[in-house]
Amino acid sequence: MMSPFLLLLLSLHSAAASLPELNKSTAAGDMASPEDAQNAVSLSELKKKMADFAKERDWDQFHSPRNLLLALVGEVGELSEIFQWKGEVPRGLPGWEEEEKQHLGEELSDVLLYLVRLSDICGVDLGKAVLRKLEINAIKYPVKLCIGSSKKHNQIINNSLPTTTNSDSSCSNIKDDASHDVLLQGTFSSMVYEIP
């Protein structure tokens, strides 16, 4: 069964097919051309298109946060199935058929569409939330401490904090999540969030 948002995606794809600039494929790592940037879709445009799509069909009644989250999880499962049993897949998906890549694009789009719709229904400005989260991650993962490492932030921070020489073994190391949280709180309190 085709998801409602896949129908929206197909209608967006049909509209995009008439714009030659959107059909140019770029190699991994290439910079987007000015035409591509001009035709990029914003989160606010997606949010509006999805709200209109749901309203036209009287689907707002079904779009509770819980229902949208469960639909999102289902779409993530469908996305996961594409990679299941393939092992590690190199960037750019060399050796994949065009149909496989198109299917991947459809499933990625379903995930994005449900995520944008969920954030809208929950009253979360996804763009601002993403920018704020990037700032938080920059604090949690300072370049000097984590470059080239796949460790979690608490392992990185804990490995860089000093230890005490207290004889009580349960208190001999201040490297714990509580001290990490205090460090982050101090950093956050000194930051001013003015996201455009």
Per-residue pLDDT of the chain (196 residues; tens, 9 = 90+): 445 444 444 444 433 433 333 333 444 445 567 777 778 999 999 999 999 999 999 999 999 999 999 999 999 999 999 999 999 999 999 999 999 999 999 999 999 999 999 999 999 999 999 999 999 999 999 999 888 988 887 787 666 655 544 444 333 333 344 444 444 554 444 444 443 3
> Cβ of 98: how many Cβ atoms within 10 Å?
7
* Statement to judge: residues 22 and 101 lie in one domain: yes
Q: Tokens for 162?
A: 């000093």
Residue where a domain stops, chosen among 73, 92, 124: 124
pTM over 0.85, yes/no: no
Among 188, 189, 29, 3, smallest CA distance to 106 is for 3
77, 82, 84, 90: CA torsion to nearest 10: -130
Sign of the dihedral through C-alpha 16, 21, 24, 30: negative
CA distance linking residue 151 with residue 141, whole number of Å: 9
Residue 153 has a pLDDT of 78
Do 45 and 118 share a structural domain? yes
Please give the single-letter amino acid code of residue 143.
V
Is 142 in the same domain as 93? Answer: no
Distance CA 178, CA 171 (A): 13
Rounded-to-integer distance, Cα 158 and Cα 161, Å: 5
Helix (H, G, I), strand (E, B) or coil at 36: helix
Same structural domain, 71 and 102: yes
Number of domains present in the structure of the chain = 2
| pLDDT at residue 55 in the model | 98
CA distances from 44 to 41, 75, 89, 97, 120 (A): 8, 21, 32, 32, 9
Residue 91 belongs to what domain range? 4-124
